[in-house]
Chain A
Amino acid sequence: MHSLRLKLIVGSLAVLTAVILSFDAFLLIAKRGALLDVLDSRLFAESQSLALRLEIAGGKPSFDPADEAGAESAASPQVRIAAANGRTIYQSPQVSDLAWPAVPERAEAPVWKTVNAGRSGAWRAVTWVDRLEIDAGAGAGEQAAARPETTIAVVVQCAESLAETKEEMRELASLLALLSLAAFLIAGGGSFLLAGRALRPIRRINRALAGVSETRLDGRIAAREFDRELQPLIEQLNAALDRLQKGFQRERQFTSDASHELRTPVASILNSIEVLLRRPRTEPELVEAHRDNWQTARSMQTIIEGLLLLARMDAGKAPMAEEEIPLAPFIEDVLAAAAPEAEAGSVRLAQAVDPGLRILADPAQLRLALSNLVDNAVRYNRPRGSVTVTARTTEGGTTIEVRDTGIGILPAELPRIFERFYRIDPSRTEATGGSGLGLSIVQKVVETRGGRVTAASDSSGSVFTIIWPRR
C-alpha cells in the first residue's frame, strides 16, 4: 500500500469503524439490559399478584386459576405454583416444553433466569418462594416468626417469552446497522476529501518542482503560501535547490573556462600551421614554428592533465597510496626540482624542517601539491627574493608552510585563488606559465586527505599553509 491518500483514508475509517462498532455494542447491551429490567419487574409484579390469590385449604396451599383463563395466550405470562416438595399446584397449560428452572435453595428473594423452551424460544422466568401463614385470619409477623410451623413455603414461578424483546432488539440492531453504514459512507467520503486536501500542498510542491530543470534552476517555491507545518520542508527544498543551482553554475563556468583555456592554444597551433603553409618556408622558420607549437601543445597538456586529475579526484577515483614519508629529504627534492627556475629568477630557496618528521601521504600527490606551491612562490617572487619551506608538528597534525617574498595577493583576491582557472592576472602567456589549476589541485590533494590549505598575504609576500592530519 504505497498511496498516502489510501493510507490516510483507511486509517481514519478504521478508527471510525471501531468507534461506531463499540457505540453500537454499548447501545445494544444497554437496551437489552433496560428491556430485561422492565420485563423482570413486570414478571415479579405479576407473580406477586398471583401469590395473593393463593389460599390455604386444609393445611395445603391451593390456587384458583379461574381468573387466569381469560387472559391466557401464547404471549402472556405463564405461571407455575408449586409446593415446597416440588409438587405442582398449578401450571398454565400453554407451554408444555418450558423447562421451569429449579428452585434454588433458600430462595426467599426472587431469582430471574433465562431458560430455553424448545420451539417457542427463550423465556424469562422469575422464581421466588412465598410463605403462606396457615392461620390466615390471625396473621401476625411476630407469631409467624416465633412459630415457623405455622407457615407453608410455596414456590411461585412466572415466565414470559423473550420473543418480543428479541424482536425489539432486532429492530434496534437493524436500525443501528443502517445508521452505522450511513456514517461509514459519509466518513469515507469525508476522509477522501480531507486526505485530498491534506495532500494538496504535495501536489503544489510537485508542480513547482516540475518547472525546475537543469537549464531552469531559478524556480523557487514561495514558502509563505503554505501551511506553517510545511514551511520548514519548503525552505529545505529551496535551500537544496540553491545549492544545486550554485553547483550547476560552478560546473558550467568550469566547463566554459576549460574550453576557453584550451581554445586559445588550439587557435595558436592552427593559426601557426595555416600561416606556415601559405608559402614556401626556410628551415629556421619551420624550426621556430615547431618550437612554438611544441610549447603551446605542452601548455595544453598541462591543462588537460590538471583537468583529468581534478576530475578523477572529484569522482574519488584517483588512486591514493599511503606511505610514511620523511619530510626533510622529500622537501629537499621538491626544492631541487624548482632550483633551475629559481636560479634564473635569482630567488633563494631555503627549508627549515624538523629532522625526523614523517607524515602519511601519497608521495606523488604530495609532491604535486608542494611543487605547485613552490613553483608559484618562485614564479611570483621578486628578483633576489626567497622561498622558505618550513614543516613542524602542531596540534592539528603537521603544518607545512611555503613562504615567499613576492608582491603578495590583494585581500580581495585571496578567497578566490583556489578556484579553478581563477587568475589574479588573467594572462595566459607562457611567460608566467601555469594552467590556472595549480592551487585547485593543491587544495584538492590536501582536502581529499582531510587536511586544510590556507593562504595569507601582505605587501612583504604570501604564505601558503598546509595542515596535514596525522591519520
Chain B
Amino acid sequence: MRLLIIEDNRTLLKSLKKGLQEESFAVDTAEDGEEGLFLAQANDYDVILLDLMLPKIDGRTLLQKLRVQGLKTHILILTARDAAEDKIEGLNAGADDYLTKPFRFEELLARIRALLRRKYGTKNPCLTIDDLKIDTATHAVVRAGLPVALQPKEYALLEFLAHREGEIVSRTEIWEHLYDWQDDTTSNLIDVFISRLRKKINRPGLRPLIQTVRGAGYLLKAE
C-alpha cells in the first residue's frame, strides 16, 4: 500500500515515514504544497496524509484542487488545528478523515487501515481467501491453519493481491502501490518477491492460490 505524506515539519515527516515503512507501507513525502500536489497527481496513492499549514500551497487549497480534478484517493488531514470548525471545514472540503496533532501513531495506523478497507470495499479487517487468512491489523498470515512468516515487502505484496482478489494485477500496478520514489526497484524485482511469496503460500499439497498470468500479471484467487 502506497502512502503520500505532505507535512512541512521535517522531523515529524521523518518519524512518520519510518514508522509507516516499518508497517510495510511504501511512503512518499512532500514538504510543501506544490510538491505534494505534483506527487498526488503523478501517482496512484492509497492514502494521502495532509497537513493544513503548508508552504507554497496550503493544505485546504491543495485538497480542493485535488477534488476538483476528480482524484478519488482517500485523504486524511493531519493538523494541529483542533477546532470543530476546522474539522468541519476540512471534511467538507473533501477530506475522508481528520486527526489532530499530537496523535498516537497507533491511532493513525488504525485510521489509515480503515481508509484502506474503504478503498478496497471490505469491512472485515481479516481477509479470507479459501484457507488463507490475512489479518491486516497485525499482519498475521495463516495458510491451512499454519502461520506463514513473511518479510514486510512480501506481506505488502500479499495484502495488495488479496485486496484485489480475483483480479489480474499487473507488475506496473504492483510497482506503483508497493514502492516509493526512494526504492530503486525495477519491476523485475517484483518477480523475485512473487516467487518467494508463492513458495510460502502455495505450499506443497495445498491448492495454488497465487498464479501467474503470462504477459498480464498475477492473480490471487480461490479455486
Contact = CB atoms under 8 A, between A and B. Distances in A.
Interface string A275-318: 11011000000000100110110000000000000000000000
Majority SS at the chain A contact face: helix
B97 interface: no
Contacts of A206: none
B11 A293 contact: yes
Interface in B1-35: 8-12, 14-16, 18-19, 22, 31-32
Contacts of B83: 256
Contacts of B12: 264-265, 267-268, 271-272
A427 interface: yes
A212 to B, nearest CB: 22
Contacts of B72: none
Contact of B80 (A263, A425, A427): A263
B128 to A, nearest CB: 27
A293 B9 CA distance: 12
A248 to B, nearest CB: 16
Contacts of B58: 426
A344 B101 CA distance: 34
Interface in B66-99: 80-83
Interface residues of B, number: 29
A265 B80 CA distance: 10
A172 interface: no
A186 to B, nearest CB: 61
A430 B103 contact: no
A370 to B, nearest CB: 27
B21 to A, nearest CB: 10
A265 B56 CA distance: 20
A452 interface: no
Contacts of B56: 425
Contacts of A431: 10
Give the one of B10, B16, B81 with max A CB within 10 A. Answer: B10
B37 to A, nearest CB: 16
Contacts of B80: 259-261, 263-264, 267
Contacts of A265: 9, 11-12
A429 interface: yes
Given A268-B12, A296-B11, A427-B32, A263 B18 contact: no
- How extensive is the interface on chain A, given as a class? 20 to 34
B74 to A, nearest CB: 20
Nearest to B9: A264
A271 B55 contact: no
B68 to A, nearest CB: 23
Nearest to A268: B12
A263 B102 contact: yes
Contacts of A266: 101-102
Nearest to A429: B10
B106 interface: yes
Nearest to B12: A268
A428 interface: yes
Contacts of A268: 9, 11-12, 15
A10 interface: no
A349 B8 CA distance: 30
A431 B55 CA distance: 13
B104 A430 contact: no
Nearest to A259: B80
Contacts of A142: none
A274 B105 contact: yes
Contact of A271 (B22, B82, B103): B103
B54 interface: yes
A284 to B, nearest CB: 13
A268 B31 CA distance: 14
20 contacts: A256-B83, A259-B80, A263-B82, A263-B100, A265-B12, A267-B101, A268-B12, A270-B102, A271-B12, A271-B19, A274-B19, A278-B19, A425-B55, A426-B58, A427-B55, A428-B9, A429-B8, A429-B9, A429-B31, A430-B11
Which 6 A/B pairs are nearest by Cβ-Cβ distance?
A275-B19, A267-B101, A268-B12, A263-B80, A267-B102, A272-B15
